[in-house]
Amino acid sequence: MEWLRSRSAYLQAAPLSLIFLLFFVLPIAMVVVVSFFDYQAYQILIPDFVLFNYQDVFSSEVTYRTYFITFRFCLMVWAITLVLGFAIAYFLAFHIRTITMQIVLFLLCTIPFWTSIVIRMIAWIPLLGRNGLVNNALVASGFTDAPVEWLLYSEFAVVIGYVHLYTLFMIVPIFNSMMRIDRSLLEAATDAGASGWQTTWNVIVPLCKPGIAIGSIFVVAMVMGDFVTVNVLGGGQVASVGKAIAAELSYLQFPPAAANSMVLLGVVILLIMLLMRFADIRKEL
């Protein structure tokens, strides 16, 4: 009995630790191992300890270019989703008075998530295509003579897709933070003579930091790892790190894909550490 009591904390933590070990640590460890393997077209995994998979990653100019493009996507999508997400969450939290209405509007935001991610992306194609709705409208209204080409199969289309898919991940944590703000603080700010803008900037934004950080982690991690959206809306022409890995996997080049994945993992971890410096997420959880 005594034995059980002294170790109960460990026992309670054991199931989760085991699951983590089995489904997270072990697979990652295997990816690390494979990233040092040799490979050939006919023999996909040759146990070995070679460094050329990493050498290929770091010596290729393409790597740096794809990372640059991916970072740029990240930055653009992060900025847009942050502004959109903050504005929508602000509206929901402070302008809608009744809880019922808040729930209704919140559900409205989630409607796009009722269909699969693939369908949500493909839906953009008939809209943005050369003979799509947007182009038809532009031509018909006389804004342009010829259809606008860069709407689809371009970086623009990819960014639109990301914003569409990921804004909600920004709204939810920010909304959550906003709902926890003590309303008397806002009243105090008003009483002290702060304008609406000052209240937002000096009271609400600082208190929303954890929500912003969590939302940012979601968005950054998803954009960094994406390879589906970039393929569908980029027409296979726009590069991203995730896509490069997916391409290597589909050609059975597992070791270089593993090496590439480890590099990506490292980069994403660094980014997240950076974001964590801006807000204490533990406090929020």
Q: Kindly list the residues in this chain that would bind other proteins in the complex (CB under 8 A).
A: 40-44, 56, 60, 62, 65-66, 118, 125-126, 129-131, 149, 152-153, 227-228, 231, 235-237, 239, 243-244, 246-253
CB of 127 to other proteins, least distance (A): 12
CB 221 within 8 A of CB 272: yes
Q: How far is CA 98 from the centre of its chain?
A: 31
Cα–Cα distance, 62 to 106 (Å, whole number): 42
Question: Closer to other proteins at the Cβ: 73 or 175?
Answer: 73
CA angle 127/132/134 to nearest 5° reads: 70
CB of 56 to other proteins, least distance (A): 8
Question: Closer to other proteins at the Cβ: 112 or 129?
Answer: 129
The residues that bridge with 46 in the sheet, in sequence order, are 38
Question: Closer to other proteins at the Cβ: 8 or 237?
Answer: 237
Question: Closer to other proteins at the Cβ: 160 or 204?
Answer: 160
Question: Closer to other proteins at the Cβ: 132 or 211?
Answer: 132
CB of 277 to other proteins, least distance (A): 32
Residue 219's Cβ-count burial label (10 Å; 0-12, 13-18, 19+) is: buried
CB of 256 to other proteins, least distance (A): 8
> Which runs of consecutive H residues, i.e. helices, occur in 141-250?
155-180, 183-191, 196-199, 205-225, 228-233, 241-250
CB of 148 to other proteins, least distance (A): 11
Q: Which residues touch 198 (CB under 8 Å, ≥6 apart)?
A: 189
Cα–Cα distance, 185 to 203 (Å, whole number): 8
Q: How far is CA 109 from the centre of its chain?
A: 17
Cα–Cα distance, 120 to 114 (Å, whole number): 9
CB of 93 to other proteins, least distance (A): 36
Question: Closer to other proteins at the Cβ: 27 or 206?
Answer: 27
CB of 230 to other proteins, least distance (A): 10
Question: Closer to other proteins at the Cβ: 165 or 204?
Answer: 165
- Give the H or E element holding residue 266: helix 254-278
